[in-house]
Amino acid sequence: MNNLICKIVTRLDGMSPAELGRLFPEPSITAPLLFLLQESGVDGFTLRSIVVLKDHAPILLLPLFETRFDLSTFVDGWFKKLLKVAGRLIPSVFYPRVLSVGSLVGEWSEIGIDPQLDAGTLDAAYKMAFNALQTLSVERQSDIVALFNFNEYAKLPVDVFKQFNRVPYRSCARLPINFNSMDEYLGRLSRAARKDLRRKMRGASRVRVVRSRTISPFLDRIYTLYLETVKRSPMSLGVHKRLFFEKICESVPGAEYTLYFVQEELAAFNLLVVKQNAMVDKFFCMDYGLGRETNLYVLSWLENVRFCVEHKIPLYYAGQGTEKTKAHLGATFIPSFLLVKHCLPVFDGLIVGQSEMIGKILSNLGFWPRAEYRLSEK
């Protein structure tokens, strides 16, 4: 009736930039990021897409990734050895094959939708796409099917929330730039925060800041800093290849690097996407020793806020992680969630009935970020 067909394709095969841009319109930056991921790839992940077409034109797209999730990656010592053994004995629990809708880079995931679709056609397209997802999960013998890192602004069908279990995930920090100067920004922080920032800003004279879209001379060091940061992170999902950092400035409009030098050594970089409507913080990676010594994270935050003020950019999206520090610096948070379905019904029951307990256990074991603050939104 709607002349709809559904295809499962490798990465974005057959999609043009114009077609993808129509499904992820501005101000979203998902389209160019997906094309960059198609080119660069991510170690340990297989990328696919489910595409629904009407009269041969794409109208809906689910970006997919598939991986093995090794729980032992996130711990050390005797517990790591224990989980390695458990993964061989019960792989569906401790080394599951995961098929997920979502993106491996971004503050949150999006589904591509033709903005001209009527409600009836969208509903039919969604049903076709999620039926295809279920079929693919059976073919791939997936242990877990998930929707990764979505938030309340995602245009997900109501039926999906009935079919999957909702689990809280890391929140994205944002800072509205509704002040006209750095003095006004600092004046809105608590007295303790202002005192802490003034102390940490004393070392700023040792730091040289360079903003650039041409990073070839520093690419080796940038990638080393990234890999070191990933190694320290308890919640990293995949490792981007060097090509991602090399190509992002030419692939993604507004992408640029802020480089932080200490005694002429590149000690940190901040990868940003700067648009007139918002600045988006993609990666901040630093040399741990030099970074802590010179308070580079705080200095980078202040540099980004200053840039937004001077260029009248109304929002700073500061990404996920380091929630306690970002709250200290005045950020509010957009909660994210996972939608998860395990192939074994008994584990679905655990996820639904004991999600809070499971979250505490995973936090204590180092798999999951601790809830360090109460989420707030303005």
What's the pLDDT tens digit per position in 130-153?
999 999 999 999 988 999 999 999
Q: Which of 339, 38, 370 has its CA nearest to residue 171?
A: 370
pLDDT at 77: 63
pLDDT at 248 over 80: yes
| Structure confidence by residue, pLDDT tens digits, 143-184 | 889 999 999 998 899 999 988 988 888 899 999 999 999 999
pLDDT number for residue 367: 45
> 277 or 378: which carries more pLDDT confidence?
277
Query: Are β-strands 315-319 and 279-286 bridged in parallel, bridged antiparallel, or unpaired?
Result: parallel
Q: How far is CA 160 from CA 166, 228, 233, in A?
A: 10, 37, 31
Nearest 5°: CA angle at 40, between 112 and 99? 55
Q: How far apart (Å, rounded) are the C-alpha atoms in residues 243 and 241?
A: 5
Most confidently modeled of 102-106, 227-231, 271-275, 343-347? Answer: 271-275
Over residues 37-77, the pLDDT tens digits come to: 999 999 889 999 999 999 989 999 999 999 987 665 545 56
Higher pLDDT among residues 222 and 93, named by residue: 222
How far apart CA 307 and CA 279 sit, in angstroms, is 9
Show the tokens assigned to 240.
């981007």
pLDDT 10s digits, 67-103: 987 665 545 565 556 666 665 666 666 678 899 999 9
Residue with tokens 């109460």: 374
- Joined together, the tokens standing for residue 86 give 């458990």
Q: pLDDT at residue 356 above 80?
A: no
Q: 48: which DSSP letter?
A: E
Query: What single string gives the DSSP state of each residue in 214-254?
Result: --GGGHHHHHHHHHHHHHH-TT--SEE-HHHHHHHHHHSTT
3-state secondary structure of 208: strand
| Exposure on the CB side of residue 197, measured as CA atoms within 13 A | 23
Residue showing tokens 């013998």: 141
What sign results for the dihedral spanned by CA atoms 7, 8, 12, 13?
negative
Task: Give percent of the chain with pLDDT exceeding 70.
Answer: 83
Asked if residues 338 and 368 have their Cβ atoms less than 8 Å apart, the reply is no
Separation CA 50–CA 60 (nearest Å): 8
Strands 97-101 and 144-151: parallel
